[in-house]
């Protein structure tokens, strides 16, 4: 099984010395967990925060297996919200609810669009000020 899709990081935890297990909400494939080699690196760690938007390339031998993923950051990431703690908490809370409420490997395009609207809505509010 293999696919490439846009995704939001819902959570990430260390795995081994340099890897991470990342929970992702993809646009077309739903919520997936994957191992990211080098997830603890300086380059990737800032983009493994809840709410970060990434491009994911997922690969697994069989559909039921925990697969491996490579991630490419998209945009600024949640670090752009450090000046607005309320927006950062909102994005983090939305990611936590999605991680806890959505079943794995079922498409949830509406949930993906809702997270995207949170991110886009915040950017458009900045432009108005």
Question: What is the distance, to the nearest Å, from the Cα of residue 94 to the centroid of all Cα atoms in its chain?
Answer: 11
CA-to-CA distance for 72 and 56, rounded, in angstroms? 7
Residue 94 to residues 13, 15, 42, 111, 116, Cα–Cα distance (Å):
18, 24, 25, 10, 11
The pair of structure tokens assigned to 44 is: 């990737």
Q: Residue 84: which CATH number?
A: 2.40.50.140
| Parent domain of 83 | 2-128
* pLDDT tens string 61-120: 988 889 999 999 887 666 666 667 777 788 889 999 999 999 999 999 999 998 888 876
Q: What does the pLDDT read at residue 119?
A: 75
CA-to-CA distance for 98 and 10, rounded, in angstroms? 7
pTM, to two decimals: 0.85
Domain tally for the chain?
1
């Amino acid at each position: 099984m293999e696919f490439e899709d846009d995704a939001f990081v819902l959570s990430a935890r260390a795995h081994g010395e340099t890897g991470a297990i990342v929970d992702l909400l993809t646009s077309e494939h739903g919520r997936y967990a994957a191992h990211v080699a080098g997830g603890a690196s300086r380059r990737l760690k800032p983009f493994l925060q809840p709410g970060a938007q990434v491009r994911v390339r997922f690969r697994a031998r069989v559909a039921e297996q925990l697969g491996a993923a490579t991630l490419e950051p998209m945009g600024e990431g949640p670090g752009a919200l450090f000046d607005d703690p309320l927006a950062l908490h909102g994005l983090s809370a939305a990611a936590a609810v999605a991680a806890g409420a959505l079943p794995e490997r079922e498409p949830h395009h509406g949930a993906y669009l809702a997270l995207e609207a949170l991110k886009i809505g915040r950017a458009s509010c900045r432009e108005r000020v």
